Amino acid sequence: MGGAVSAGEDNDDLIDNLKEAQYIRTEKVEQAFRAIDRGDYYLDGYRDSAYKDLAWKHGNIHLSAPCIYSEVMEALKLQPGLSFLNLGSGTGYLSTMVGLIIGPFGVNHGVELHKDVVEYAREKLDDFIKNSDSFDKFEFCEPVFVVGNCLEISTDSHQYDRIYCGAGVQKDHENYMKVLLKIGGILVMPIEDQLTQITRTGQCTWESKNILAVSFAPLVQQSRADGEKPDAVQLPPVTVRSLQDLSRIYIRRTLRNLANEDSQGKGMVQRVPQKRKRRRCRRRRINTYVFVGNQLIPQMVESEEEEHAEEEHKEVEEEEERDIGDIEILKQVNVLRDQIMALPLPESLKAYLLYYREK
């Protein structure tokens, strides 16, 4: 599933294409997508495919197409402080982006069937926290992943404000998913080949909206002997943050706000390298799909007007390339880190404020 937008040269280029095709429509979703490099969730040797609008699978590891994740993130209507449950959390890519929006006072849980995939997701999360500059630019709700079948969740589990299921849901499991949702909450899941947004409007009332035609592998149901009781999946507990953790959150927030005010007051604008422009295939949003084998693939149809517009755009870009000269590029710095390191505090406390990040 995918192929609805042009391939990108890197993560930012892919996001530009998703915005142009109106899959990404809000600033907070755009910021989350730019902060998490999709390529970081690919195995070594497969990264060249990371910025194509295509799903990717290797063994049990799977990533949906970028256009699907974009629609999911927009449909969830995320806000700071919400609770989120990811059923079939996979690599943790989506959960990590969600964590950037719901912030440190949200809840971010994921259930994944395969133990090796949960370990992979935890490794990627640890790498993001330790090595990504984006971590210092956001307040983050760290995802917590558990191994288990999302169709076997304990009946006494708490409910969530937002839920996403990353596998095809059969009609007879629809109500099972709905009861995990709080009143006023939003559930996004693929059901009957439609990515569907369901809003719980009351104790026994829901509103549904079809978002996009999709094709997902179905949820896996565990096979067991007659009469054998399945092991219930215990979701992570919702815990209250310690005073120590709260202090770290607010110190970092204060320093980040001071840095932003200082840079705005001085009129500082950080220059970044200007990439060489390339010819990009401009395509309208896809609403037509065809089956190829057992996959549902978008079918692109371009008009003569679009081809003519593309040729004109190519001429403009070629002219812009000739006009690009040498520009001053300032080294990007992690301002929050520099401010913490300058504080008159013991080194152990600085390390704690930095989440023990080494760079």
Spatial neighbors of 191 by CB under 8 A, at least 6 apart, are 168, 169, 170, 171, 174
SS3 (DSSP) at 54: strand
Decide: 159 and 182 in contact? Cβ < 8 Å. Answer: yes
Alpha helices in the chain (DSSP H): 11-20, 27-35, 66-76, 93-102, 115-131, 174-178, 243-265, 304-323, 335-341, 347-353
Q: For residue 167, give both structure tokens.
A: 């596998």
SS3 (DSSP) at 145: strand
Which residue, among 286, 284, 295, has the nearest Cα to 212 in the 3D structure? 286
Decide: 75 and 211 in contact? Cβ < 8 Å. Answer: yes
Which residue, among 189, 123, 120, has the nearest Cα to 150 in the 3D structure? 189
Does 64 qualify as catalytic in the annotation?
yes
Angle at 5 between CA 73 and CA 35, to 5 degrees: 45
- The CA distance from 215 to 226, in Å, is 32
Q: Which residue pairs from 43-46 have beta carbons closer than 8 angstroms and sit at least 24 positions apart in sequence?
A: none
Q: For residue 264, give both structure tokens.
A: 């705005």
Report the first-to-last Cα separation within the chain, whole angstroms.
37
Decide: 109 and 146 in contact? Cβ < 8 Å. Answer: yes
Active-site residue, selected from the candidate residues 6, 49, 64, 134 = 64
So which residues are the catalytic ones?
A: 64
